[in-house]
Amino acid sequence: MKYFSTRGHAARPEFCDILLGGLAPDGGLYLPESFPAVSRAELDAWRHLPYADLAFEILSKFITDIPADDLRDICARTYTANIYRHARTGDDPTRIVPLRWLEPGKLGLLALSNGPTLAFKDMAMQLLGNLFEYVLTKRGETINILGATSGDTGSAAEYAMRGKSHVKVFMLSPHGKMSAFQRAQMYSLADENIFNIAVTGMFDDAQDIVKAVSSDAAFKARHRIGAVNSINWARIAAQVVYYFHGYFAATSSNAQQVAFCVPTGNFGNIFAGHVARCMGLPVARLILATNENDVLGEFFRTGVYRPRKASETHVTSSPSMDISKASNFERFIFDLVDRNPATVAGLWKEVDAGGAFDLSDTPFFTRLPEFGIVSGTSTHADRLATIREVHARHGVMIDPHTADGVKVASRHAADLPDGVPLLVMETAQPAKFADTLREALGRDPEIPADLQGLEALPQRVEVMPPDVDAVKAFIAARA
Ligand SMILES: *Cc1c(COP(=O)(O)O)cnc(C)c1O
Protein backbone atom coordinates (compact mmCIF):
# COMPACT_ATOMS: atom_id res chain seq x y z
CA MET A 1 0.00 0.00 0.00
CA LYS A 2 1.34 3.39 -1.03
CA TYR A 3 0.51 6.71 0.64
CA PHE A 4 0.12 10.19 -0.78
CA SER A 5 -0.50 13.73 0.45
CA THR A 6 -3.94 15.37 0.57
CA ARG A 7 -2.31 18.33 -1.19
CA GLY A 8 -0.96 16.36 -4.13
CA HIS A 9 2.81 16.03 -3.55
CA ALA A 10 4.31 13.55 -6.04
CA ALA A 11 6.01 11.26 -3.47
CA ARG A 12 4.40 7.84 -2.86
CA PRO A 13 6.01 6.54 0.38
CA GLU A 14 5.08 3.30 2.08
CA PHE A 15 3.79 2.86 5.60
CA CYS A 16 7.10 2.65 7.48
CA ASP A 17 8.27 5.90 5.90
CA ILE A 18 5.21 7.90 6.91
CA LEU A 19 5.17 6.26 10.36
CA LEU A 20 8.16 8.27 11.54
CA GLY A 21 7.41 11.48 9.67
CA GLY A 22 4.68 14.01 10.36
CA LEU A 23 3.13 16.12 7.63
CA ALA A 24 3.79 15.43 3.95
CA PRO A 25 6.45 17.70 2.38
CA ASP A 26 3.73 20.01 0.97
CA GLY A 27 2.06 20.45 4.37
CA GLY A 28 -0.71 17.95 3.55
CA LEU A 29 -1.72 14.83 5.48
CA TYR A 30 -0.95 11.31 4.34
CA LEU A 31 -3.70 8.97 3.20
CA PRO A 32 -3.52 5.46 1.73
CA GLU A 33 -4.05 5.38 -2.04
CA SER A 34 -7.35 3.61 -1.42
CA PHE A 35 -9.44 2.39 1.48
CA PRO A 36 -9.26 -1.40 1.02
CA ALA A 37 -12.68 -2.95 0.49
CA VAL A 38 -13.66 -5.64 2.98
CA SER A 39 -15.76 -8.42 1.47
CA ARG A 40 -18.74 -10.02 3.09
CA ALA A 41 -16.73 -13.26 3.33
CA GLU A 42 -14.02 -11.43 5.24
CA LEU A 43 -16.56 -9.89 7.60
CA ASP A 44 -17.90 -13.39 8.25
CA ALA A 45 -14.41 -14.72 8.90
CA TRP A 46 -13.53 -11.85 11.24
CA ARG A 47 -16.69 -11.81 13.33
CA HIS A 48 -15.40 -13.99 16.15
CA LEU A 49 -11.71 -13.13 16.07
CA PRO A 50 -9.93 -12.04 19.27
CA TYR A 51 -9.05 -8.34 19.19
CA ALA A 52 -5.34 -8.80 18.38
CA ASP A 53 -6.12 -11.08 15.42
CA LEU A 54 -8.73 -8.66 14.10
CA ALA A 55 -6.18 -5.86 14.42
CA PHE A 56 -3.72 -7.88 12.37
CA GLU A 57 -6.25 -8.56 9.61
CA ILE A 58 -7.20 -4.90 9.28
CA LEU A 59 -3.75 -3.39 9.74
CA SER A 60 -2.19 -5.76 7.21
CA LYS A 61 -4.35 -4.08 4.56
CA PHE A 62 -2.71 -0.74 5.35
CA ILE A 63 0.79 -1.99 6.25
CA THR A 64 2.37 -3.98 3.42
CA ASP A 65 6.02 -3.25 4.17
CA ILE A 66 6.27 -5.20 7.45
CA PRO A 67 6.42 -9.02 7.13
CA ALA A 68 3.12 -10.62 8.18
CA ASP A 69 4.64 -12.65 11.02
CA ASP A 70 6.25 -9.56 12.52
CA LEU A 71 3.05 -7.54 12.26
CA ARG A 72 1.07 -10.37 13.83
CA ASP A 73 3.55 -10.43 16.71
CA ILE A 74 3.33 -6.64 17.16
CA CYS A 75 -0.49 -6.84 17.31
CA ALA A 76 -0.36 -9.69 19.82
CA ARG A 77 2.02 -7.75 22.08
CA THR A 78 -0.05 -4.56 21.79
CA TYR A 79 -3.56 -5.85 22.37
CA THR A 80 -2.99 -8.08 25.36
CA ALA A 81 -4.68 -8.50 28.68
CA ASN A 82 -1.47 -7.38 30.38
CA ILE A 83 -2.07 -3.87 29.11
CA TYR A 84 -5.86 -3.53 29.11
CA ARG A 85 -6.96 -3.66 32.69
CA HIS A 86 -10.53 -4.54 31.86
CA ALA A 87 -9.46 -7.70 30.11
CA ARG A 88 -7.31 -8.48 33.14
CA THR A 89 -10.00 -7.99 35.73
CA GLY A 90 -13.08 -8.76 33.63
CA ASP A 91 -14.56 -12.16 33.11
CA ASP A 92 -13.16 -12.65 29.60
CA PRO A 93 -9.43 -11.95 29.15
CA THR A 94 -9.76 -11.83 25.36
CA ARG A 95 -12.06 -8.82 25.51
CA ILE A 96 -9.73 -5.89 25.07
CA VAL A 97 -12.64 -3.59 24.20
CA PRO A 98 -15.83 -4.73 25.93
CA LEU A 99 -19.24 -3.47 24.90
CA ARG A 100 -21.39 -2.45 27.86
CA TRP A 101 -25.07 -2.17 27.08
CA LEU A 102 -27.02 0.56 28.84
CA GLU A 103 -30.19 -0.50 26.99
CA PRO A 104 -29.62 -4.00 25.60
CA GLY A 105 -29.59 -4.05 21.80
CA LYS A 106 -30.19 -0.31 21.65
CA LEU A 107 -27.64 1.84 23.41
CA GLY A 108 -24.17 0.75 24.50
CA LEU A 109 -20.80 2.07 25.58
CA LEU A 110 -17.77 0.81 23.68
CA ALA A 111 -15.17 0.68 26.45
CA LEU A 112 -12.06 2.08 24.79
CA SER A 113 -10.42 3.53 27.88
CA ASN A 114 -9.14 0.51 29.78
CA GLY A 115 -5.52 1.00 28.78
CA PRO A 116 -2.67 2.25 30.97
CA THR A 117 -3.70 5.93 30.95
CA LEU A 118 -7.49 5.53 31.12
CA ALA A 119 -8.19 7.30 27.81
CA PHE A 120 -8.92 5.81 24.38
CA LYS A 121 -5.68 7.27 23.02
CA ASP A 122 -3.91 4.19 24.43
CA MET A 123 -5.61 2.06 21.76
CA ALA A 124 -3.54 3.71 19.03
CA MET A 125 -0.54 4.95 20.99
CA GLN A 126 0.36 1.51 22.36
CA LEU A 127 0.55 0.23 18.79
CA LEU A 128 2.65 3.23 17.78
CA GLY A 129 5.14 2.48 20.57
CA ASN A 130 5.69 -1.06 19.32
CA LEU A 131 5.80 -0.01 15.65
CA PHE A 132 8.35 2.72 16.37
CA GLU A 133 10.60 0.35 18.27
CA TYR A 134 10.33 -2.29 15.54
CA VAL A 135 11.08 0.03 12.61
CA LEU A 136 13.85 1.99 14.38
CA THR A 137 15.59 -1.19 15.51
CA LYS A 138 15.47 -2.60 11.96
CA ARG A 139 16.91 0.59 10.54
CA GLY A 140 19.44 1.17 13.32
CA GLU A 141 18.00 4.63 13.89
CA THR A 142 16.85 6.55 16.95
CA ILE A 143 14.18 9.20 17.40
CA ASN A 144 13.47 11.92 19.96
CA ILE A 145 9.77 12.53 20.22
CA LEU A 146 8.83 16.08 21.07
CA GLY A 147 5.27 17.00 22.02
CA ALA A 148 3.04 19.30 24.02
CA THR A 149 0.08 18.07 26.00
CA SER A 150 -2.79 19.41 28.03
CA GLY A 151 -3.33 15.94 29.50
CA ASP A 152 -4.35 12.78 27.66
CA THR A 153 -1.98 12.72 24.69
CA GLY A 154 1.19 13.19 26.69
CA SER A 155 0.51 10.43 29.17
CA ALA A 156 -0.63 8.02 26.43
CA ALA A 157 2.57 8.73 24.46
CA GLU A 158 4.81 8.30 27.51
CA TYR A 159 3.20 5.03 28.59
CA ALA A 160 3.50 3.75 25.02
CA MET A 161 7.18 4.68 24.67
CA ARG A 162 8.46 4.05 28.21
CA GLY A 163 11.37 1.65 28.31
CA LYS A 164 11.45 1.33 24.51
CA SER A 165 14.90 1.23 22.95
CA HIS A 166 15.81 3.76 20.24
CA VAL A 167 13.11 6.21 21.45
CA LYS A 168 13.20 9.15 23.87
CA VAL A 169 10.23 11.35 24.73
CA PHE A 170 10.40 15.07 25.59
CA MET A 171 6.92 16.12 26.65
CA LEU A 172 6.00 19.71 27.46
CA SER A 173 3.02 20.43 29.71
CA PRO A 174 1.66 23.65 31.21
CA HIS A 175 2.99 23.95 34.78
CA GLY A 176 0.22 23.52 37.36
CA LYS A 177 -2.58 23.36 34.77
CA MET A 178 -3.28 19.63 34.59
CA SER A 179 -5.28 17.68 37.15
CA ALA A 180 -3.36 16.13 40.05
CA PHE A 181 -4.07 12.69 38.62
CA GLN A 182 -2.84 13.64 35.16
CA ARG A 183 0.34 15.16 36.61
CA ALA A 184 0.97 12.04 38.65
CA GLN A 185 0.45 9.83 35.61
CA MET A 186 3.19 11.59 33.65
CA TYR A 187 5.63 12.82 36.25
CA SER A 188 5.81 9.59 38.27
CA LEU A 189 7.29 7.65 35.35
CA ALA A 190 10.85 6.69 36.30
CA ASP A 191 11.92 5.42 32.87
CA GLU A 192 15.19 6.89 31.67
CA ASN A 193 13.89 7.62 28.17
CA ILE A 194 11.03 9.86 29.38
CA PHE A 195 11.60 13.58 30.04
CA ASN A 196 8.83 15.80 31.38
CA ILE A 197 9.15 19.56 31.00
CA ALA A 198 6.61 21.74 32.80
CA VAL A 199 6.50 25.16 31.16
CA THR A 200 5.47 28.09 33.36
CA GLY A 201 2.66 29.19 31.04
CA MET A 202 -0.42 27.88 29.28
CA PHE A 203 -0.82 24.91 26.94
CA ASP A 204 -0.51 27.26 23.96
CA ASP A 205 2.92 28.41 25.18
CA ALA A 206 4.05 24.79 25.30
CA GLN A 207 2.58 24.16 21.85
CA ASP A 208 4.32 27.25 20.44
CA ILE A 209 7.68 26.02 21.72
CA VAL A 210 7.16 22.65 20.04
CA LYS A 211 6.31 24.43 16.77
CA ALA A 212 9.36 26.70 17.07
CA VAL A 213 11.73 23.81 17.77
CA SER A 214 10.22 21.69 14.96
CA SER A 215 10.51 24.49 12.43
CA ASP A 216 14.27 24.78 13.07
CA ALA A 217 15.17 22.29 10.32
CA ALA A 218 18.83 22.06 11.31
CA PHE A 219 18.05 21.34 14.99
CA LYS A 220 15.34 18.90 13.97
CA ALA A 221 17.69 16.94 11.69
CA ARG A 222 20.65 17.00 14.09
CA HIS A 223 18.60 15.67 17.00
CA ARG A 224 16.23 13.46 14.98
CA ILE A 225 13.10 15.15 16.35
CA GLY A 226 9.83 13.34 15.66
CA ALA A 227 6.20 13.56 16.73
CA VAL A 228 3.31 11.29 17.64
CA ASN A 229 0.48 13.78 17.18
CA SER A 230 -3.01 12.94 16.08
CA ILE A 231 -2.32 13.42 12.36
CA ASN A 232 -0.13 10.31 12.41
CA TRP A 233 -1.79 7.86 9.99
CA ALA A 234 -0.81 4.84 12.10
CA ARG A 235 -2.99 6.18 14.90
CA ILE A 236 -5.99 6.41 12.56
CA ALA A 237 -5.36 2.90 11.21
CA ALA A 238 -5.25 1.49 14.75
CA GLN A 239 -8.56 3.15 15.54
CA VAL A 240 -10.32 1.62 12.52
CA VAL A 241 -10.02 -1.75 14.26
CA TYR A 242 -12.36 -0.98 17.15
CA TYR A 243 -15.14 0.15 14.83
CA PHE A 244 -15.15 -3.36 13.33
CA HIS A 245 -14.87 -4.90 16.80
CA GLY A 246 -17.74 -2.78 18.10
CA TYR A 247 -19.88 -3.73 15.13
CA PHE A 248 -19.32 -7.45 15.70
CA ALA A 249 -19.99 -7.09 19.42
CA ALA A 250 -23.29 -5.24 18.89
CA THR A 251 -24.76 -7.35 16.08
CA SER A 252 -25.34 -11.03 15.42
CA SER A 253 -25.13 -11.00 11.63
CA ASN A 254 -23.34 -9.03 8.95
CA ALA A 255 -26.67 -8.04 7.41
CA GLN A 256 -27.25 -5.66 10.33
CA GLN A 257 -26.21 -2.04 10.65
CA VAL A 258 -24.86 -0.10 13.59
CA ALA A 259 -24.38 3.60 14.49
CA PHE A 260 -21.56 5.21 16.46
CA CYS A 261 -21.51 8.42 18.47
CA VAL A 262 -18.02 9.89 18.85
CA PRO A 263 -16.94 12.64 21.28
CA THR A 264 -14.78 14.63 18.90
CA GLY A 265 -11.82 17.00 19.11
CA ASN A 266 -9.26 16.73 16.33
CA PHE A 267 -11.49 14.53 14.15
CA GLY A 268 -9.12 11.56 14.49
CA ASN A 269 -11.43 9.06 16.15
CA ILE A 270 -14.46 9.78 13.96
CA PHE A 271 -12.30 9.84 10.83
CA ALA A 272 -11.33 6.25 11.63
CA GLY A 273 -15.08 5.51 11.67
CA HIS A 274 -15.40 7.12 8.26
CA VAL A 275 -12.58 4.90 6.97
CA ALA A 276 -14.27 1.79 8.39
CA ARG A 277 -17.51 2.77 6.66
CA CYS A 278 -15.67 3.37 3.36
CA MET A 279 -14.13 -0.10 3.70
CA GLY A 280 -17.61 -1.57 3.76
CA LEU A 281 -18.49 -1.84 7.45
CA PRO A 282 -22.30 -1.49 7.67
CA VAL A 283 -22.39 1.83 9.53
CA ALA A 284 -25.77 3.55 9.35
CA ARG A 285 -24.61 6.78 10.94
CA LEU A 286 -21.61 8.46 12.53
CA ILE A 287 -22.73 10.99 15.10
CA LEU A 288 -20.18 13.70 15.79
CA ALA A 289 -20.45 15.08 19.32
CA THR A 290 -18.80 18.35 20.31
CA ASN A 291 -18.77 20.50 23.44
CA GLU A 292 -18.93 24.31 23.62
CA ASN A 293 -16.14 24.38 21.02
CA ASP A 294 -18.50 23.50 18.18
CA VAL A 295 -16.21 24.28 15.21
CA LEU A 296 -16.97 20.95 13.53
CA GLY A 297 -20.68 20.82 14.33
CA GLU A 298 -20.96 24.19 12.68
CA PHE A 299 -19.43 22.80 9.48
CA PHE A 300 -21.85 19.88 9.28
CA ARG A 301 -24.80 22.22 9.81
CA THR A 302 -23.75 25.16 7.64
CA GLY A 303 -20.90 24.15 5.31
CA VAL A 304 -18.66 26.79 6.90
CA TYR A 305 -15.39 25.67 8.48
CA ARG A 306 -14.06 28.47 10.62
CA PRO A 307 -11.18 27.45 12.89
CA ARG A 308 -10.94 29.68 15.94
CA LYS A 309 -7.99 31.47 17.42
CA ALA A 310 -6.55 29.67 20.42
CA SER A 311 -7.72 32.63 22.54
CA GLU A 312 -11.34 32.04 21.39
CA THR A 313 -11.34 28.45 22.61
CA HIS A 314 -13.62 27.74 25.57
CA VAL A 315 -12.09 25.97 28.55
CA THR A 316 -14.64 23.23 29.31
CA SER A 317 -15.24 20.23 31.53
CA SER A 318 -14.38 17.98 28.53
CA PRO A 319 -10.92 19.47 27.99
CA SER A 320 -9.66 16.89 25.51
CA MET A 321 -12.25 18.22 23.06
CA ASP A 322 -11.29 21.88 23.53
CA ILE A 323 -9.91 22.49 20.06
CA SER A 324 -9.69 25.62 17.97
CA LYS A 325 -9.01 23.75 14.73
CA ALA A 326 -9.37 20.05 13.96
CA SER A 327 -6.03 18.75 12.71
CA ASN A 328 -7.45 15.66 10.96
CA PHE A 329 -10.34 17.39 9.23
CA GLU A 330 -8.35 17.91 6.03
CA ARG A 331 -8.49 14.16 5.44
CA PHE A 332 -12.27 14.14 5.47
CA ILE A 333 -12.56 17.23 3.27
CA PHE A 334 -10.26 15.48 0.78
CA ASP A 335 -12.89 12.74 0.37
CA LEU A 336 -15.73 15.25 0.32
CA VAL A 337 -14.22 17.26 -2.57
CA ASP A 338 -13.88 14.14 -4.75
CA ARG A 339 -10.32 13.49 -3.62
CA ASN A 340 -9.04 16.49 -5.52
CA PRO A 341 -5.71 17.67 -3.98
CA ALA A 342 -5.81 21.04 -5.77
CA THR A 343 -9.17 21.83 -4.16
CA VAL A 344 -7.85 20.83 -0.72
CA ALA A 345 -4.69 22.88 -1.17
CA GLY A 346 -6.82 25.90 -2.10
CA LEU A 347 -9.10 25.53 0.93
CA TRP A 348 -6.19 25.07 3.36
CA LYS A 349 -4.43 28.08 1.92
CA GLU A 350 -7.25 30.01 3.58
CA VAL A 351 -7.16 27.96 6.79
CA ASP A 352 -3.37 28.18 7.16
CA ALA A 353 -3.59 31.95 6.75
CA GLY A 354 -5.99 32.10 9.71
CA GLY A 355 -9.13 32.21 7.57
CA ALA A 356 -12.17 30.03 6.93
CA PHE A 357 -13.90 28.36 3.98
CA ASP A 358 -17.52 28.04 2.99
CA LEU A 359 -18.79 25.06 0.96
CA SER A 360 -22.48 25.85 1.44
CA ASP A 361 -23.00 26.89 -2.19
CA THR A 362 -21.15 23.95 -3.67
CA PRO A 363 -22.32 20.48 -4.77
CA PHE A 364 -20.02 19.11 -2.06
CA PHE A 365 -22.28 20.41 0.67
CA THR A 366 -25.37 19.03 -1.10
CA ARG A 367 -23.73 15.59 -1.09
CA LEU A 368 -22.58 15.75 2.53
CA PRO A 369 -25.50 13.56 3.77
CA GLU A 370 -24.10 10.63 1.71
CA PHE A 371 -21.24 10.51 4.18
CA GLY A 372 -23.60 9.56 6.97
CA ILE A 373 -22.26 12.05 9.51
CA VAL A 374 -24.60 14.11 11.67
CA SER A 375 -23.59 16.33 14.58
CA GLY A 376 -24.70 17.61 17.94
CA THR A 377 -23.26 19.55 20.84
CA SER A 378 -23.51 19.60 24.63
CA THR A 379 -23.06 22.17 27.39
CA HIS A 380 -21.49 21.76 30.81
CA ALA A 381 -24.99 21.51 32.32
CA ASP A 382 -25.92 18.79 29.78
CA ARG A 383 -22.87 16.76 30.70
CA LEU A 384 -23.51 17.02 34.44
CA ALA A 385 -27.14 16.01 33.95
CA THR A 386 -26.10 13.09 31.72
CA ILE A 387 -23.51 11.84 34.23
CA ARG A 388 -26.25 11.91 36.91
CA GLU A 389 -28.85 10.24 34.73
CA VAL A 390 -26.59 7.41 33.54
CA HIS A 391 -25.49 6.82 37.11
CA ALA A 392 -29.03 6.85 38.48
CA ARG A 393 -30.55 4.68 35.76
CA HIS A 394 -27.73 2.27 35.02
CA GLY A 395 -25.39 2.47 38.01
CA VAL A 396 -22.52 3.37 35.67
CA MET A 397 -20.16 6.31 36.12
CA ILE A 398 -19.05 7.98 32.91
CA ASP A 399 -16.52 10.72 32.31
CA PRO A 400 -17.49 14.17 30.90
CA HIS A 401 -16.31 13.34 27.34
CA THR A 402 -18.33 10.16 27.23
CA ALA A 403 -21.23 12.11 28.76
CA ASP A 404 -21.06 14.50 25.84
CA GLY A 405 -21.38 11.47 23.54
CA VAL A 406 -24.31 9.99 25.46
CA LYS A 407 -26.13 13.33 25.49
CA VAL A 408 -25.75 13.91 21.75
CA ALA A 409 -26.58 10.25 21.01
CA SER A 410 -29.86 10.57 22.90
CA ARG A 411 -30.93 13.37 20.56
CA HIS A 412 -30.24 11.31 17.44
CA ALA A 413 -31.41 7.87 18.57
CA ALA A 414 -34.96 8.38 17.33
CA ASP A 415 -33.76 9.18 13.78
CA LEU A 416 -32.05 5.81 13.35
CA PRO A 417 -33.71 3.01 11.39
CA ASP A 418 -35.41 0.41 13.63
CA GLY A 419 -33.13 -2.18 15.16
CA VAL A 420 -29.88 -0.28 14.61
CA PRO A 421 -27.85 -0.32 17.85
CA LEU A 422 -26.16 2.94 18.81
CA LEU A 423 -22.71 2.68 20.38
CA VAL A 424 -21.18 5.63 22.21
CA MET A 425 -17.40 5.68 22.25
CA GLU A 426 -16.28 5.75 25.88
CA THR A 427 -13.18 7.90 25.46
CA ALA A 428 -11.97 8.22 29.07
CA GLN A 429 -12.51 6.85 32.56
CA PRO A 430 -14.19 9.06 35.20
CA ALA A 431 -11.13 8.68 37.48
CA LYS A 432 -9.30 11.15 35.23
CA PHE A 433 -11.85 13.89 35.79
CA ALA A 434 -12.66 13.67 39.47
CA ASP A 435 -13.65 17.35 39.85
CA THR A 436 -16.48 17.11 37.35
CA LEU A 437 -17.66 13.78 38.73
CA ARG A 438 -17.75 15.31 42.21
CA GLU A 439 -19.72 18.25 40.87
CA ALA A 440 -22.23 15.94 39.19
CA LEU A 441 -22.60 13.19 41.79
CA GLY A 442 -21.24 14.64 45.01
CA ARG A 443 -18.74 11.82 45.27
CA ASP A 444 -15.38 10.74 43.92
CA PRO A 445 -15.07 8.35 41.00
CA GLU A 446 -13.47 4.98 41.62
CA ILE A 447 -9.76 4.75 40.93
CA PRO A 448 -8.75 1.41 39.36
CA ALA A 449 -6.94 -0.72 41.94
CA ASP A 450 -3.58 -0.63 40.16
CA LEU A 451 -3.59 3.18 40.06
CA GLN A 452 -4.49 3.86 43.67
CA GLY A 453 -1.65 5.64 45.39
CA LEU A 454 -0.34 7.01 42.09
CA GLU A 455 -0.47 10.59 43.35
CA ALA A 456 1.79 9.71 46.29
CA LEU A 457 4.64 8.41 44.11
CA PRO A 458 7.77 10.57 43.70
CA GLN A 459 7.60 12.83 40.64
CA ARG A 460 10.26 13.81 38.13
CA VAL A 461 9.74 16.98 36.13
CA GLU A 462 11.86 19.88 34.91
CA VAL A 463 10.13 23.23 35.44
CA MET A 464 11.18 25.82 32.84
CA PRO A 465 10.17 29.25 31.60
CA PRO A 466 8.49 29.26 28.15
CA ASP A 467 11.81 29.83 26.41
CA VAL A 468 12.64 28.08 23.14
CA ASP A 469 16.41 28.19 23.64
CA ALA A 470 16.19 26.75 27.14
CA VAL A 471 14.10 23.84 25.85
CA LYS A 472 16.48 23.29 22.93
CA ALA A 473 19.44 23.21 25.31
CA PHE A 474 17.66 20.71 27.54
CA ILE A 475 16.96 18.42 24.60
CA ALA A 476 20.42 18.80 23.06
CA ALA A 477 22.02 17.70 26.32
CA ARG A 478 19.92 14.53 26.53
CA ALA A 479 18.87 13.49 23.01
C1 LIG B 1 -8.43 13.00 22.45
C2 LIG B 1 -9.74 12.83 23.11
C3 LIG B 1 -10.95 13.10 22.43
C4 LIG B 1 -11.01 13.64 21.03
O5 LIG B 1 -10.58 12.69 20.07
P6 LIG B 1 -10.22 13.14 18.59
O7 LIG B 1 -9.65 11.93 17.95
O8 LIG B 1 -9.20 14.25 18.71
O9 LIG B 1 -11.46 13.62 17.92
C10 LIG B 1 -12.14 12.86 23.11
N11 LIG B 1 -12.15 12.42 24.39
C12 LIG B 1 -11.01 12.16 25.07
C13 LIG B 1 -11.08 11.68 26.48
C14 LIG B 1 -9.76 12.35 24.47
O15 LIG B 1 -8.62 12.09 25.15
**Shortest-distance atom of ligand 1 to CA 268:** 7
Q: Of 131-135, 314-318, 400-404, where does mean pLDDT reach its minimum?
A: 314-318
**Better-scored residue on pLDDT, 314 or 241:** 241
Q: Tell me, using a 6 A CB cutoff, whether residue 320 lines ligand 1.
A: yes
The arithmetic mean of pLDDT across residues 363-384, rounded, is: 97
- Rounded to a whole number, what is the largest CA-CA distance in the chain? 61
Q: Of 123-132, 206-215, 256-265, 399-408, where does mean pLDDT reach its minimum?
A: 206-215
Tell me the sheet residues that pair with 31.
Answer: 4
> pLDDT by residue (tens digit) across 28-76?
999 999 999 999 999 999 999 999 999 999 999 999 999 999 999 999 9
The span from the CA of 69 to the CA of 256, in Å, is 33
What is the reported pLDDT for 93?
55
> pLDDT by residue (tens digit) across 170-212?
999 999 888 888 899 999 999 999 999 999 988 888 988 998 9
Centre of ligand 1 from the C-alpha of residue 282, in Å: 24
pLDDT over 70 (residue 87): no
The span from the CA of 325 to the CA of 308, in Å, is 6
The span from the CA of 208 to the CA of 139, in Å, is 31
**Cβ 292 vs Cβ 50: under 8 Å:** no
| Mean pLDDT for the chain overall | 94
Q: Distances in Å between the alpha carbon of 401 and those of 67, 346, 370, 408?
A: 38, 33, 27, 11
> pLDDT by residue (tens digit) across 4-32?
999 999 999 999 999 987 789 899 999 99
Q: Tell me, using a 6 A CB cutoff, whether residue 151 lines ligand 1.
A: no
What is the reported pLDDT for 229?
84
Q: Of 118-127, 200-209, 368-377, where does mean pLDDT reach its minimum?
A: 200-209
β-pair type (283-290, 373-377): parallel
> pLDDT by residue (tens digit) across 47-57?
999 999 999 99
Q: Report which protein residue has its CA nearest ligand 1's atom 11.
A: 427
pLDDT over 90 (residue 81): no
Q: Tell me, using a 6 A CB cutoff, whether residue 264 lines ligand 1.
A: yes
To test ligand 1's pocket by mutation, which of 203, 329, 427 has the most ligand atoms within 8 angstroms of CB? 427
pLDDT over 80 (residue 94): no
> pLDDT by residue (tens digit) across 379-397?
999 999 999 999 999 999 9
pLDDT over 60 (residue 91): no
What is the reported pLDDT for 311?
82
What is the band of 83 on the pLDDT scale with cuts at 50, 70, 90? confident
The arithmetic mean of pLDDT across residues 424-430, rounded, is: 96
Q: Tell me, using a 6 A CB cutoff, whether residue 144 lines ligand 1.
A: no
Centre of ligand 1 from the C-alpha of residue 98, in Å: 19
The arithmetic mean of pLDDT across residues 119-133, rounded, is: 97
Q: Output the CA angle 60-63-67, nearest 5 degrees.
A: 75
Nearest to 260 by CA among 425, 401, 95, 120: 425
What is the reported pLDDT for 95?
79
DSSP letters, 37-88, are ---HHHHHHHTT--HHHHHHHHHHHH--SS-HHHHHHHHHHHS-TTT-HHHH
State the catalytic residue, choosing from 121, 325, 407, 432: 121
Centre of ligand 1 from the C-alpha of residue 321, in Å: 6
pLDDT over 90 (residue 323): no
Q: Tell me, using a 6 A CB cutoff, whether residue 274 lines ligand 1.
A: no
What is the reported pLDDT for 88?
59
What is the reported pLDDT for 178?
84
> pLDDT by residue (tens digit) across 437-459?
999 999 999 888 888 899 999 99
Q: Tell me, using a 6 A CB cutoff, whether residue 426 lines ligand 1.
A: no
To test ligand 1's pocket by mutation, which of 233, 235, 269, 294 has the most ligand atoms within 8 angstroms of CB? 269
pTM: 0.96
Q: Tell me, using a 6 A CB cutoff, whether residue 152 lines ligand 1.
A: yes
Tell me the Cα Rg of the chain: 21
Q: Tell me, using a 6 A CB cutoff, whether residue 182 lines ligand 1.
A: no
**Shortest-distance atom of ligand 1 to CA 270:** 9
Give catalytic status of residue 325 as yes or no.
no
Centre of ligand 1 from the C-alpha of residue 450, in Å: 24
**Shortest-distance atom of ligand 1 to CA 326:** 8
The arithmetic mean of pLDDT across residues 254-263, rounded, is: 97
Q: Tell me, using a 6 A CB cutoff, whether residue 198 lines ligand 1.
A: no
What is the reported pLDDT for 370?
96
Centre of ligand 1 from the C-alpha of residue 345, in Å: 26
The arithmetic mean of pLDDT across residues 150-173, rounded, is: 94
